[in-house]
Amino acid sequence: MNIGLTIEQLALFGITLLIVGYVVLGVMALIPATRVISRELIQIFFSATLIALVLISAGLLGTPGVVLLVTTIAFRVGYEATEVRIGPGKPAWTGGLITTSICLAAMLDHRIAFAFVVVWPILLFRLAQKSSQGKNADILDLLVFPILPMALMTYGAVSEDLRVAIIGSYVLVEIFDSCALLFGKLFGKRKAFPILSPQKTIEGLVGALAGMCTLTVIGAAWFNLWLPGLLAAAIAVAILAVAGDLAASRLKRMAGIKDYPILLKHQGGLLDSLDSWLAASAGLSIISFFIRLL
């Protein structure tokens, strides 16, 4: 899935968007009516900026940098999810190691990654048919999200023909999330998901989609990319991002907690920050498999 961008062009576009984001928040800070909202958003935006810079830097370093980064993310994501779903201590460490091992297997052999593409919907169907109680249900929950999506993300990240799309999907996810926060704070009234994610509003999601599509059009014009394909990918990323966020929220609600083990201040655990990206990048990896089969 070659989107026609180099990692250097993506880095330039991402950094430009970050600068624009800080300018917008800075202007909001000067306006009394939006000053409090600006201060709240800039703390969250700063954590997202750190992640974006790390991802872009890893991409610029090439395969060794990407492998090191996604392996580290895999362990931390597995650790956090297992601690929440099963328990802290040894289970959490074991979950982190298992997640890392599964991701390494997907990176080393594309046939294993393809097997995960086939197995994942089967497990999702089984999860939908079962009550979420007991040890087997715990493991099934974790495999459906985040372990197998994490494995598909790592497969895509180390594939040279998919890497830019995977890292680029993080840029799209952050555009979507940032716009959702902004429009939700300014105009949000109606809850989109009152139980799983009460902070999300219909107005915020609509504004986020409009903002992301607008910036996608600008990006396509800037780099002379095929707009229909890029817009379709952006909309798919938006849908998958919401699904990933809800999946991560579901694990927290079942555990009766608000946040995953804190790693990034103002954003909680790493899975809190990457849940949408995991789902979006896993979805792009799956789409690429089917494109190759055609």
Stretches where the chain sits below pLDDT 50 are none
Q: Where are the domains of the chain?
A: 7-293
> What is the distance between the alpha carbons of residues 14 and 70, in angstroms, rounded to a whole number?
19
Q: Which helix (H) or strand (E) holds 132?
A: none
| pLDDT on residue 258 | 74
- The alpha carbon torsion through 255, 284, 188, 228 (nearest 10 deg) reads -170
Write down the pLDDT at residue 183: 92
| 130-152 tens-digit pLDDT | 655 555 678 888 999 999 999 99
Q: Exposed, middle or buried: residue 94 (CB in 10 Å: 0-12, 13-18, 19+)?
A: middle
pLDDT at position 209 is: 94
Query: Are the CB atoms for 114 and 292 separated by under 8 Å?
Result: no
In single-letter form, the type of residue at position 34 comes to T
Q: Which helix (H) or strand (E) holds 198?
A: strand 197-201
- CA 208/CA 163 separation, integer angstroms: 25
For residue 80, what pLDDT is reported? 92
- Give the E-state strand segments of 118-196 in sequence order: 191-193
- Decide if 1 contacts 284 (C-beta within 8 A): yes
User: Which of the 8 DSSP states describes residue 262?
Assistant: P
